Amino acid sequence: EAGVAQSPRYKIIEKRQSVAFWCNPISGHATLYWYQQILGQGPKLLIQFQNNGVVDDSQLPKDRFSAERLKGVDSTLKIQPAKLEDSAVYLCASLGDSTYEQYFGPGTRLTVT
């Protein structure tokens, strides 16, 4: 089966600009996650969706980050405006209904200058 797709793979922007990342989960997976992984650290959960509803966004910096999953399939994570400390890899993962394995995409590496 096809894995989790993410685009773009790399993005370089200046601080105060905006950026958006796209994720297409594995077909049929109802749960979708966005993680932020800063260099040298483990991934940190930003937001979790169940179909098109938000389950947990307690660690999402809502003053600048937003995410949506309008049709319960693919999802977009946006940062506006970006700060230097947002430089990280943004990982998307999905989970099927009858499994406990999260499947991760390759991530988008964001560099804010």
**Stretches 12-20, 63-71, 72-80, 90-98: which one binds other proteins (CB under 8 A)?**
90-98
Binding of other proteins by 105 (CB under 8 A):
yes
Binding of other proteins by 44 (CB under 8 A):
yes
As a whole number of angstroms, the distance between CA 111 and CA 100 comes to 32
In which residue are the tokens 């594995």 written?
26
Binding of other proteins by 54 (CB under 8 A):
no
Nearer to other proteins, 41 or 63 (CB): 41
Q: Are 91 and 104 in contact (CB under 8 A)?
A: yes
19, 25, 34, 48: residue in contact with other proteins (rule CB under 8 A): 48
Phi/psi region, residue 58 (left: phi>0; alpha: psi -120 to 50; beta: rest), is alpha
Binding of other proteins by 19 (CB under 8 A):
no
CB of 81 to other proteins, least distance (A): 26
31, 52, 87, 111: residue in contact with other proteins (rule CB under 8 A): 31
Q: Provide the binding-site residues for other proteins, judged by CB under 8 A.
A: 4, 31, 33, 40-45, 48, 55-56, 91, 93, 95, 99-107, 109
